[in-house]
Amino acid sequence: MTKIAVIDYGMGNLHSVSKALDEVSDKEKILVTSDPELIKSSDKIVLPGVGAIKGCLQAFSGELRNEVVEQIKNKPTLAICVGMQMLLENSEENGGVKCLNVLDGKVVKIPASEDIKIPHMGWNKVKFLSDHFLWNNIPDCSFFYFVHSYCCLSSSDAISETNHGNSFISSLGKENIFSVQFHPEKSQDLGLQLYKNFLDWRI
């Protein structure tokens, strides 16, 4: 049986994420866990995140952090919202913090203008920049649900973009890692399709 480890470091939208994965699961076992041994024995990893990045990185520490960083080197990994931001180089949130430097890009405050609201909250269009297995059965320029005040504006790993006053990177992909700024678990049928694609993803 394929085991999916949803990483519990006390800061993610764990119930909603695990419930959505369960809904599209066939034979997969969904494990919400902070146990390094269970993470090590899992087949795939989901790294969620909600809140301020400094608090997330502080909570995501020690043996748990070391094991996850090791395991995402070769296991299919889905990172969500602040989970995505943690994989980038650094963030200017909370006065500036170093991130995990797994993916190319920096996290900055969403550029302000009179025409937009911060945080960026609600449905917005995701425009594909490149093909990916996780886009299967999801049309280009589909709408997904966002909640964030910080974003990545450019990255060599970018695979989709979204506009909120300015264009920002709404998903990144590199080898076995797929990461999204939006929340699939809040994005109804297309969000569930993305989770199903992740469960079906083979690398």
Identify whether 183 is a catalytic site residue. yes
Identify whether 81 is a catalytic site residue. yes
* DSSP assignment letter at 165: S
Quote the CA–CA distance of 150 and 116 in Å, as a whole number: 13
**Residue 15: Cβ within 10 Å count:** 11
CA distances, 142 to each of 16, 117, 165 (Å): 21, 21, 18
Catalytic, out of 81, 99, 151, 152? 81
The residue count for the chain = 203
Is the Cβ–Cβ distance between 158 and 172 less than 8 Å?
Answer: yes
Identify whether 56 is a catalytic site residue. no
CA distances, 54 to each of 83, 90, 95 (Å): 12, 11, 9
Catalytic, out of 28, 67, 93, 185? 185
Q: Catalogue the E-assigned strands of the chain.
A: 3-7, 29-33, 44-47, 77-80, 90-91, 97-98, 106-109, 120-128, 142-148, 150-152, 158-164, 166-174, 177-180
- Of 143, 29, 7, 138, the closest CA to residue 84 belongs to 7
Identity of the amino acid at 101: N
Residues identified as active-site:
81, 183, 185
